[in-house]
Structure 1
Amino acid sequence: MRQRFVVVDLETTGNSPKKGDSIIQFACTVIENKRIVDEYSTYIKPEKSIPPFIVELTGISDDMVKDAPLFREVAPKINSLLADAVFVAHNVLFDLSFLQEELNQAGFEGFYGSTIDTVELSKILLPTSDSYKLSQLAQEENIEHERPHQADSDARVTALLLLKLINKLYDLPKVTLKQLYRLSFSLKSEISELIGDCIADKEKKALEPLHGIEIFRGLALRIQDQPKTLKNEEDKLFEYEYDAEAKFQDLQHAFPHAERRAGQLEMMNNIYDTFIQQKHSIIEAGTGIGKSLGYLLPSAYFSSKYKKQVIISTYTLHLQEQLLKKELPALSKIVPFPIEAQMIKGTNNYLSLAKFERVLRQKDDNYDTSLTKMQILVWLTHTQTGDRDELNLTSGGASFWEKLQTSAGLPQKLQEPWDKRDFYKKAKEAANRADILVTNHAYLIENVTGENPVLSRGAILVLDEAHHFSKAFQTKLGFKISYLTIRTMINRLGTYNQKMVLYRLEKMMKEKNLEVPTGSKAIENAIQDFLYESEQLFYLLAKYGEKLALSPGRQKLSIHYDSRGQSRDQNNIKMLAERVIDYLRQIREAADERVASLMRNGDSLGKSHLYYVTEAAGLLDELGELQGYLRTFFLRNEKDTVYWADIIKSGKNTAVTLLSQPLDAGGSILENYLGGFTSIVMTSATLTINGSFSFFMEQLGLKKETFITKSYPSPFNYMDAVKIMVPASMPDISIIPLSEYARNVSEHITAAAAGSKGRMMVLFTSRELLRMTYEFLREEQQLVDFTLLAQGITGGSKWKLLKNFQGFNKGILLGNASFWDGVDVPGDKLSCLVIVRLPFSAPDEPVNAARNRQLTAEGKNPFSQYSLPEAVLRFKQGFGRLIRAENDKGVLLVLDKRIQNTSYGHAFLDAIPKVRVETNPLSQLEESVRKWLS
C-alpha cells in the first residue's frame, strides 16, 4: 500500500462556509504503510460566536477557542500536511469543500488530489451495517470512540476504521476485487486507486487460498452450510408437561431469573390441547405474559412428537427476524430436543444469482447501480441466505434490486446453472424440513390466495399479531400504484435514443432480420403521448381532489373515486384515462410483437439476448397489470371495493397514488382461505373490548362456535405502575385552527418532558398535526437540551428512530400510525407516553366513509359498530407501549378531553387495566409528572 493518507475531521459553526460559518477545530491523522505515523489537532478561533446547538453537539464553547489561532495562522501547517496525500474523511465532500473554502480565503490554492470517503467505502465493504454513522461503525468494528463530535477523536476513529476497511479489502478474493475495480470509476471518491493497489499487491503473491469461498461462473460465493440432521429416534420420548410447577422448573433451569407467570403456563396448555384436538383458538395474551414463548413451547413439543410442521406467521419482517434470532434460540435452551427452525419470505426478498450474473455484465455508469453491485459482490462472500433484508441499500439501490430479485419466468437455459445455489430454492427446501417455520402475514396470504403454494396446507398455523391480519388481507387483495411508479415503468422500457429495453429489442430484431407490423416510429409516438397524457391525467385528478377537500391547504388529501360519477370533472378525467389506457395498449402490443417474434427464434438467441427478451416480457406483464389497474380504477370500479387517490403536496411537487381495497376480507377467512390448516391459533395482546372478542371475529368473518376463546390478563400491577393524566387546559380542536391546537399540544409536551426528563413518546393520528407540533417544539427554548425525533421529518425508518431514541438520555419521539403497536422500549428509556388524540380513524377517509355507508345501509350504527371499537383497540395498543417489564413505571398523558367528558369516553378506560386518572392544569403538569416518576 504505497499511498499516504491524511484522515481529516472538522468541527464547524454550521454547514455553509459561504454563509459565514467557520471551522472551530481541525484534526488529522496521518497513515503510511498501514500505520498511524502522525496526528495533529488544533482549536481555531471563529469570526463569530458558536451557536448553542453546536456547543451542545461538540462540547466546544467560545471560552475554549478565545485564545486559539485564527485559521489563516494554521493554514500553512494544514496545507503542508495535505501535500501529496490522499484526503480521507467520513463524508469527504463536506470536510473537503469546507476546508477548501477556508484555504482559499487564507491565500492557498487548496487541495486537488485524490479523496476517499469512508462512508462510501464502508457501504461497499460493510454492506450489512445498520448505519453508516461513524459512532455506529466504530461500535460494530470494536473501535473505542470516547468523544464523538470532537475532531481529534473523530479523525483518529476514522483512521482506525480506514485501516480495518483496507484489511477487509485485502481479504476479498482477487476475482471480486477486479469486479469492484471495474465498477469503482462510477463512485464519488477515488476508491479505484485503493482497489488497484490492493490488486497489484495480490498479483505479486502466490495463489491465494479461498477459505469457505467458491468461485462459480466468475462470482465469489460463500460456500453454503450443509443442512444438519437434528432429529433422532429418541425425540418421541419427550412428552409435553402439563404440570405448571414442572414446566416452570424447566424455564428456571434455562433462565435462572425467569418470573413465574401463571397465565403463560396456562396458555401453553391451552395451545397444546388445541393442536392435539385439531381445534381452533383465539387467545389474548396481555403485555408481560410472555406470549411468544407461550405459543413456541407447545409448538415445539407438538411438532417433535407428531412430526407435523407448525407455521408461525407475524405481521412484519422485523418481528419475523426477532422470533428467529431471539425467541427461538431461547426456546432451544428449554426443550430437551433439537428444533429445526427456519424462516421464509416472499420471492422479492431473495437475490437471483442468475439475474445478477447477467446484470453485472451490463455497462451502467449510474451511481446507485454501481454502488449496489459492489455491495452485493462483497455480500456474496458472506451471505448464507441471499436475503435482501441483510443489506443496507440506498433508495436507488432498493429500486435497482427489483431487477435482481427472484421471480418466475427466467428461461431454463439461464436459470439451470444456478439451480444448486439458488437462494429462494434453498429457502423453500429448508422450509420443508423445518419443525417450526416462521413467516409473515403477507407471504402467508400470498400462499393461501395464490396458485402455487409453498406452505404446507396440512400444517398447524399460529397467527401472531392477529389483530393486523384482516388489514393485511385487505391490503393484499387491493392495489397501490403511484404516478412515479408508472413513469419508472415506462422509463425502463425507454425510447430508442435511451438504449433501454425497447432499444435492445429493436437492435436484436435488426440483427435477426425480423420484421413486425408496427413500426418503430409508431411505438415511439405512443410512448411520448402516454407520458404527456398520463401527466395530465394525474394533474387533473389532483386538482379534482383539491376541489373536494374539506380542509383546503392540507399537505395530504385522500379522495374517494367513483367511476360511475357524471360530473364535468369526472367525465374529463374518464375521457383522459381512456386515452392513456389506449396508448398503453398500443405500447404493449407493439413491444409484444417484438418479444413474440424474438421468442419464436429463441433457439438462435445467445444467453445475453435471451435475458434481455425475458426482461422485456416481464416488463410487459407489469404494464399489462398496470393497464388493468387503470381501467378498473378510472372506468370500471368493482362492487364492494373502495377506490381512492392519495394526493401529497410537497412544495411545488404533487405526488399522486391510486389505491383500492375490498371493504372486507371476502367473507369468512377461515372457510375461504385457511381451511387447509389442521389447527389454527390466533393470538395478540389486543383482541378484546371489555372481555369480548366479537369485533375481532367479525373483522375476519369468524364464527363463535368454531373457535375457543381465552384472555390472559397482564401480570403487571398497573395501579402502582401507571397514572393517566388528562390536562384540564387543552382546548377543543373543533373550535380553533389546527395550528393553535398544535401550539397547545407542544406546550403540554414541553411541560411533561421537563417532568419526565425526556424519555417520552408522543403518538399522533394526524401527520399534519405531528408536523405542526414538531415545528413548535423545535423552537421551544426549554427543550434546548433535549433530542427531538419525528417520524417522516428527522429521517430514518421506524426501527432506526427507535434505536436512536433509546440512545439519548433526553429523547422525545413523535410517531404516527406504525408506532401505536409493535414497539418495545423497556425500562426507564420510556417513562412518559403521550396520546394526542383518541385514535379514531378520520370519517372522511375513503375506506372509512365507504364502510360507514355500508353499515348504514345495513341498518347499523357506524360509530358504535365500527369506529368506536376500532379506536378502543388502537388505544389499548398504544397504552401497551408504556409498561413492558414488571418494574417499569410511567405516565400516560392523554391530551384529548373526550376521554372524560363524552358518553363514550369510559369505553377507552374500561378497555385497559384499572389505573389512577388525574386531571391537571398545565401549570401543575410538570410537577405532577416528576412526582409520580420519582
Structure 2
Amino acid sequence: MMQRFVVVDLETTGNSPKKGDSIIQFACAVIENKKIVEEYSTYIKPEKKIPPFIVELTGINDSMVENAPLFKEVAPKINSLLTDAVFVAHNVLFDLSFLQEELKQAGFEGFYGSTIDTVELSKILMPTSDSYKLSMLAIEENLEHERPHQADSDAHVTALLLLKLMTKLFALPKVTLKQLYRLSFSLKSEISELIGECIAEKDKKALEPLDHLEIFRGLALKVPDQQEEFIEEEQDFTYRYNPDTKYKDLKRAFPNAEKRMGQLQMMNSVYDSFIQQKRSIIEAGTGIGKSLGYLLPAAYFIKKYRKKVIISTYTLHLQEQLLKKELPALASIVPFPIEAKMIKGKNNYLSLAKFERVLRQKDDNYDTSLTKMQILVWLTHTETGDRDELNLTSGGASFWDRLQTSAGLPGKLQEPWNTKDFYLRAKAAAKTADILVTNHAYLIQDITGQNPVLPKDAVLVLDEAHHFNKAYNSKLGFKVSYLTIRTIINRLGSYNQKMVLYRLEKMLKEKNLEVPTSSKVIENLIQDFLYESEQLFFLLARYTEKLAINPAQQKLTLHFDSAAESRELNGIKMLAERVIDTLRQIREAADERVEVLTRREESLGKSHLYYVSEAASLLEELAEQQGYLKSFFLRNEEGAVYWAEILKSGKNTAVTLLSQPLTAGQSIWDDYLSKFSSIIMTSATLTVNGSFSFFMEQLGLKDENITTESYPSPFNYMEAVKILIPSSMPEIGSLSLSEYARNVAQHIAVAATGSNGRMMVLFTSRELLRMTYDYLRVEAELGDYTLLAQGITGGSKWKLLKNFQGFNKGILLGNASFWDGVDVQGDKLSCLVIVRLPFSPPEEPVNAARSRQLIQEGKNPFSQYALPEAVLRFKQGFGRLIRAENEKGVLIVLDKRIQNSTYGHSFFEAIPKVTVETKPLEQLEKAVREWLT
C-alpha cells in the first residue's frame, strides 16, 4: 500500500467555526508503507477564551495557548502535510470541515483529496464492538491511549488503529473484499480506494490460503470449530457431597476462591432436586456464586444419569456470562467434558439464504450498504449467526428484519443452505449438547409450540426466576403501533414504488396470469388504508391527551375499554373497524397474487421465488397486526388489560397500543413449568421478609410440593455498606415534579463530590430522570464528571454500563432495567442512590386493573401486591452496590418514606443489617467521603 495517509485530530473551542469557534490544538501522524513516519503537533492560539467545559474535557487552558502560534502561522506547514495525502480522522466530517474553514481563512485552497473515517471503517471491520468511541476501540485493540481528548495522543492512537484496521482488511478473503468494494461507494468516506488497493495486492499472489474459512455460494464463512473427541474412562460420576472436596475443586480452578458454605450447600440442594425429581426455589444472595452453585451439580447429574439440563435466563448479559465465563470455569473443575450451547428464537439468527438474495439487490441506501458490509465481515468470524453479536445502526437493525430466519422461504431457495443454516445448526447442536442455555421468552414459546426443540425429558434451571412472570405476560401480550403497520405496508409498496407488490404484478404479466382483484383496486385500498390509519391514530392521540392518566408527563397513558360507550370513543371504534377491514382486503388481494404464483413455483426463477416468499412473510406479519387491532379496538378478551401510550414530543401517530394478561398465576404452572420433572427456580431476590409466598403466587405455585431454600450473602454488610437518608430532602408530593427534581439533583451533586463519581442513580420515573439530568448537566460542581443517562445520552443499557466503567468520575442515571441484572465490580461503583422507593405507579393500567381485581377478591392491593413488589425491587437495587469481597459502598435513599411511613421497616428487613444514618445536605459530602475512605 503505497498511499500516504495523514491522520488528523483537532481540539477546538466548540463545534462551529462559522460561529467563531477556533482550533486550539492540531496534531497529525503520517503513515507511509504501513508505518508511522512522522508526527506533528502544536497548540494554536484561538481568537477567544477557552470555555470551561473544553478545559475540563481536554485539559488545555488559556495559559497553555497564550504563547502558541496563530493558525495562519502554522497553516503552511499543515497544508504541506496534507498535500497528495489521504485525510484520515475519527469522525472525519468534523475534523475536515473545521480545518477547511481555518485553511480558507488563512488564504489556502483547502483539502479536496480522499478521506477515510476510522469510525466508519471500524464499524465495517469490527462489527461486534460494543462502542466505536476511540477510547473504547483503543482498549479493545490494546492500544495505549495516554491522554484522551488531547489531539497529539488521539491522532497517534487513531493512526495505530488505522494500521490495525488495514491489517484486518487485508486478512479478509478476496471474495469478501470484492463484495465490500461494490458496496463501498455508498459510504461517506473513500474506503473504496483502500479496499481496491487490498484487492490489487491480493491479485499479485497466486494462491490465497483460507485459514478456518470456506467459500460457499459466493460467501466466505467461518468453518465451525470441531469438538475434540473425548474417550470416556470408567469413573464414578456420583456427586461428591464432601464440602471440603468440592472446595478443593473450586480452589484449583479459582486460586482466590473463598470457602462459601452457602454455595456448597446450594450444590447439594440442587443435586438432590435433580435426582429426586423435586421442584425447588433457591434464593442465593449476592456473592454466593449462584451460577456455579447449579452448574457443578448439573455436570455430575448429566454424566451419571445421561440427562440434559436447560438453563433459562431473562437477560442476554447472563446468557453471555454463562457461556463465556461460568461454563469455561466449570470445564476447569470437572474431570470430563460438558458441551453447552445457546438456543434462541429463530428470528435471532441470520438467514444465509435471505442474505444471499439481498446481497444481489442494488437498491441500497447508506444504512443497508453499511449493514451488508458489516455482515460480510462478521460471517468470517461468527459460528452462531446470532444477531446479538452485531452492533448495528438503528437503520441496520430495521434492515435486519429482512434477513432474520423465519418461515416462508421456498425449498428451492432454502435447501442449498440447509447444511450451513445457523438456526438449523443451533437446533442440531441442541440435540447433542449436555447443557442448553436459552431465555425465558424462547422457553415459553418452545414448550407449547408445535415443533419443540428443547428436550422434553430435560431438567430445568430457571435463573433470574423473578422475571419469569414478566416474560410470560410479555409473550402472551402484544404491542402494536402505527409505525409498525406502516413499515409493513411500505415494504409491500404501491405499484409506483416498485417494491414487493410491483414485482408480483410484473411476474403475473410475464406469465400471463390473472387474479380477481386488479392492481388499481389494491392501489386504492393501500391509499385508503394510509389515510384512514393516520386519522385513526391521530384521533386516538387526541383522545389520549384529553383523558390521559397523568397529563403532565412526556409519555401519556390511557386505559382502553372496547366495551365503553361515548360519542368520541364510538367514532374511534367505527374508524378502527374500517381500517381493519381495509387491511383485510389488502391482505386478500395480495394473497391472491402469492397463491397464483406459488402454484407456478417450478417455473419461477430464484429471484422471483424470493419476492413471492417475502410477500408471504409480510402478509403473515400483517395478519398478526390486524388481529391485534381487532382485539384492541373491537373485542377485548376477558382477563387481559388494554391501554394506549403516546409520546407528546412525537407526531400524532406516535401511539403504541398494548395488551397484557392481567394475572398469569396458575396458568404459568399448568401450561409451562409443570411439564418438567425437576425444576430449580433461583435468583438473588425471591423472598419478601423471609417469605417466598409472593413469588410463588406469581408463578401459580401455591398448591404445589415445593422445596424452598435461602442462602444469604457471605459479605459482611455492616463493614461494607452504610445507608444515608438526607433529612434535607423534601417530602414527595410537597413540591412540583420540577422542583423535586432540582432537590434530587442538588443532593446527587453533593454526594458525587464525596464519592468522586463512581455513582449510579436509580429512578422509577423517566420524567423525573430527564428533569434531574437537565439540572445536573449545568451543575458547576460536576464540570469534570461524566454524566450518562438512560434514554438521553444514547446507547443500550450495556453500552451505558461499559462507558460508565470506562470513566473515573462517572455518574449513571438509570431507570427500570438498571434495578437488577447489573454487575459492576471493583471501585467503579461505590455510591448508589435510590431516588424513590420503587413502587409501580398505581394509576398505570396493569397496576390499576390488578388492584381492582384484588379488591373484588377481598384482598388489600397495597399490602398483597404493591408493597411486596416494591420491596423485591428495592432488594434488587441494593444488590447492585456490593458485588465482591472487600468492596465498600454507600447507599443514599432520597425517599424519606423509608423512615417516616408505617411500611418503611419492610424495606430495611428485606436487606442485610447495615448502619443507617440521617444527615442534612451540608454534611452529606463529608459522610460519604469518610465512609468510603
TM tier, smaller? over 0.9
Contact 1:230 1:339 in 2 (8 A): no
User: Which amino acid is 2:372 matched to?
Assistant: K
The alignment status of 1:124 with 2:124, answered yes or no, reads yes
Q: Give the drift of 1:704.
A: 4.8
Q: Secondary structure of the equivalent of 2:646?
A: strand
Task: State the one-letter code of the partner of 1:514.
Answer: L
The residue aligned with 2:95 is 95
The match for 2:664 is 665
- Contact conserved, 1:687 with 1:693, CA < 8 A, in 2? yes
Corresponding residue number in structure 1 for 2:872:
873
**Number of the residue aligned with 2:489:** 490
- Look up the equivalent residue of 1:499 and give its one-letter code: K
Counterpart in 1 of 2:581?
A: 582
Q: Which amino acid aligns with 1:173?
A: P
Is contact 1:22–1:47 with CA below 8 Å preserved after alignment? yes
Please report how far the alpha carbon of residue 220 of structure 1 lies from its aligned counterpart in structure 2 after TM superposition.
1.2
Over 3 Å counting, the alpha-carbon distance change for 1:53 and 1:506 in structure 2 is same
Moved more, 715-724 or 60-69: 715-724
**1:778 shift after superposition:** 1.0
TM-superposed CA distance for 1:639, in Å, is 0.5
Q: 1:652 to 1:603 in 2, by over 3 A?
A: closer
**What CA distance in whole angstroms lies between the structure 2 residues aligned with 1:717 and 1:556?**
42
Following the alignment from structure 1 to structure 2, what is the Cα–Cα distance between the partners of residues 222 and 253?
34
* Contact kept in structure 2, 1:731 and 1:741, CA below 8 Å: yes
Letter in 1 for 2:128: T
* Aligned-partner residue type, residue 142 of structure 1: N
Residue matched to 2:18? 18
Deviation of residue 159 (structure 1)? 1.7
What secondary structure sits across from 2:883 in the alignment? Answer: coil
- Report the residue type matching 1:479 in the other structure: F
1:308 maps to which residue?
Answer: 307
Alignment of 1:382-393 (within 5 A): 382-393=381-392
Moved more, 885-894 or 288-297: 885-894
Which digits, 9 at most, give the CA deviation of each residue in 1:549-585, with x for residues without a partner?
2433321112111111111221111011111112211
Q: Equivalents in 1 of 2:166, 2:60: separation in Å?
A: 32
What amino acid does structure 1 have at the position aligned with 2:605?
Answer: G
The aligned amino acid for 1:248 is Y
**1:354-384 CA-partner distances (Å, limit 9, x unpaired):** 1111111111221111111111111111211
State the alpha-carbon separation in 2 of the partners of residues 646 and 550 from structure 1: 10
Sort the Cα spacing of 1:652 and 1:672 in 2 relative to 1 into closer, same or farther, 3 A: closer
Distance 2:650 2:520 in 1: 37
**Displacement after TM superposition at 1:828 (Å):** 2.0
Output the CA distance in 2 between the equivalents of 1:36 and 1:827.
37
Task: Give the alignment of 1:326-405 within 5 angstroms.
Answer: 326-405=325-404
Structural mapping, 1:465-484, within 5 Å? 465-484=464-483
The Cα of 1:544 is off from its aligned counterpart by 1.0
SS at match of 1:278: coil
Q: Relative to structure 2, which stretch is displaced further, 456-465 or 98-107?
A: 98-107
How far 1:78 moved relative to its partner? 1.7
Q: 2-side partners of 1:878 and 1:180: how far apart?
A: 46
1:828 and 1:175 map into 2 onto residues whose CA distance is 47
Q: What are the Cα deviations for residues 661-691 of structure 1, in whole angstroms up to 9, with x where unaligned?
A: 1012262422222233220010011111111
Per-residue deviation, 1:504: 0.8
Matched, 1:779 2:754: no
Alpha-carbon shift at residue 41 of structure 1 (Å): 1.7
Query: Distance between the aligned counterparts of 1:826 and 1:795, measured in 2?
Result: 23
Q: Distance in 1 between matches of 2:257 and 2:7?
A: 49
> Which residue number in structure 1 is paired with residue 606 of structure 2?
607
Q: Secondary structure at the match of 1:295?
A: helix
Q: 1:762 to 1:840 in 2, by over 3 A?
A: same
SS at match of 1:813: strand
Aligned-residue CA RMSD in angstroms? 1.4
Aligned equivalents of 2:714 and 2:199: distance in 1?
61
* 1:5 corresponding residue in structure 2: 5
Report whether the alignment pairs 1:765 with 2:770: no
Q: What's the TM-score, normalizing by structure 1?
A: 0.98
Q: Is the alpha carbon distance of 1:167 and 1:754 closer, same or farther for their aligned partners in structure 2, counting shifts above 3 Å?
A: closer
Report the 3-state secondary structure (helix = DSSP H, G, I; strand = E; otherwise coil) of the residue aligned with 2:418: helix
Residues 535-684 of structure 1 mapped to structure 2, 5 A cutoff: 535-650=534-649, 655-665=654-664, 667-684=666-683
Match of 2:898 in 1: 899
Q: What's the counterpart of residue 209 of structure 2?
A: 209
State how 1:138-217 maps to structure 2 within 5 Å.
Answer: 138-217=138-217
SS in 1 for 2:674: coil
SS of aligned partner of 1:420: coil
For the Cα contact (< 8 Å) 1:645–1:658, is it kept in 2? yes
Deviation at 1:400?
0.9
Q: Is the 1:253–1:334 Cα contact (8 Å) retained in structure 2?
A: yes
Q: In terms of mean alpha carbon deviation, does 725-734 or 738-747 score higher?
A: 725-734
Give the match for residue 855 of structure 1. Answer: 854
Q: Tell me the residue number matched to 1:250.
A: 249
In structure 1, what is the Cα distance between the partners aligned to 2:625 and 2:295?
42
Structure 2 Cα separation of the partners of residues 499 and 427 of structure 1: 36
Instruction: Determine if contact 1:534/1:580 at 8 Å carries over to the other structure.
Output: yes
Q: Is the Cα contact below 8 Å between 2:541 and 2:652 reproduced in 1?
A: no
Query: Secondary structure, in 3 states, of the residue corresponding to 1:451?
Result: coil
Bigger drift between 163-172 and 561-570 goes to 163-172
Could you tell me which amino acid in structure 2 is paired with residue 13 of structure 1? T
Unaligned segments of structure 2, at least 5 residues: none
Between the aligned partners of 1:79 and 1:786, the Cα distance in structure 2 is: 37
Superposed displacement of residue 733, structure 1: 2.1
Q: Equivalent residue of 1:211, what SS?
A: coil
SS in 1 for 2:497: coil
- CA–CA distance in 1 between the matches of 2:43 and 2:297? 63
C-alpha distance in structure 1 between counterparts of 2:762 and 2:899, whole Å: 19
CA distance in 2, matches of 1:302, 1:343: 20
User: Is the contact made by 1:466 and 1:683 (CA closer than 8 Å) also made in structure 2?
Assistant: yes
1:883 corresponding residue in structure 2:
882
Q: Distance in 2 between matches of 1:481 and 1:545?
A: 16
Using a 3 Å threshold, how does the CA distance of structure 1 residues 705 and 629 change in structure 2: closer, same or farther?
closer
Name the CA shift for 1:182/1:153 in 2 (closer, same or farther; >3 Å). Answer: same
Q: What's 2:832 paired with?
A: 833
The question of 1:456 aligning with 2:455 is answered: yes
- Answer yes or no: is 1:845 the counterpart of 2:844: yes
CA-CA distance at 1:869 after TM superposition: 0.7
Q: Do 2:482 and 2:653's aligned partners in 1 also have CA atoms closer than 8 Å?
A: no
Q: Within the alignment, does 1:108 sit opposite 2:90 as a pair?
A: no
Counterpart CA distance in 1 for 2:899 and 2:393 is 47
Supply the AA of the counterpart residue of 1:517: P
Asked if the contact 2:549–2:557 (Cα under 8 Å) also holds between the matched residues in 1, the reply is no
The question of whether the paired residues in 2 share the 8 Å contact of 1:458 and 1:676 is answered with: no
Inter-partner Cα distance in structure 1 for 2:278 and 2:178: 59
SS at match of 2:673: coil
**Displacement of 1:836 after TM fit?**
0.6
Deviation at 1:171, TM superposition (A): 1.6
- Determine the C-alpha separation between the residues in 2 that align with 1:230 and 1:791: 47
Q: Which amino acid aligns with 1:882?
A: L
Match of 1:60 in 2: 60
8 A Cα contact 1:186 1:370, kept in partner? yes
- Does structure 1 retain, via aligned residues, the 8 Å contact 2:408–2:614? no
How far apart are 1:525 and its partner, in Å?
Answer: 1.4
Residues in 2 aligned to 1:230 and 1:837: alpha-carbon distance in whole angstroms: 55
**Structure 1: which amino acid aligns with 2:307?**
K
- CA distances 1:109-166 after superposition (whole Å, capped 9, x unpaired): 2112211111111111111222111122222223222222121221122122222222
Structure-1 residue corresponding to 2:219: 219
- The one-letter amino acid paired with 1:72 is K
Describe the shift of the 1:122–1:105 C-alpha distance in structure 2 as closer, same or farther (beyond 3 A). Answer: same
SS of the equivalent of 2:903 reads: coil
SS at match of 1:735: coil
* Residue of structure 1 equivalent to 2:30: 30
Q: Normalising to structure 2: TM-score of the pair?
A: 0.98
Give the Å deviation of 1:651.
6.2
Structure 1 residues 231 and 562: CA distance shift in structure 2, 3 A: farther
Aligned residues: 933
The structure-2 alpha-carbon separation of the partners of 1:467 and 1:493, relative to structure 1 and needing over 3 Å to count, comes to same
Q: Contact conserved, 1:238 with 1:336, CA < 8 A, in 2? A: no
SS in 2 for 1:801: helix
- Whether the 8 Å contact between 2:726 and 2:920 is mirrored in structure 1 is yes
Deviation of 1:231 (Å): 6.3
Counterpart secondary structure, 2:614: helix
Q: Which runs of 5+ in 1 are unaligned?
A: none
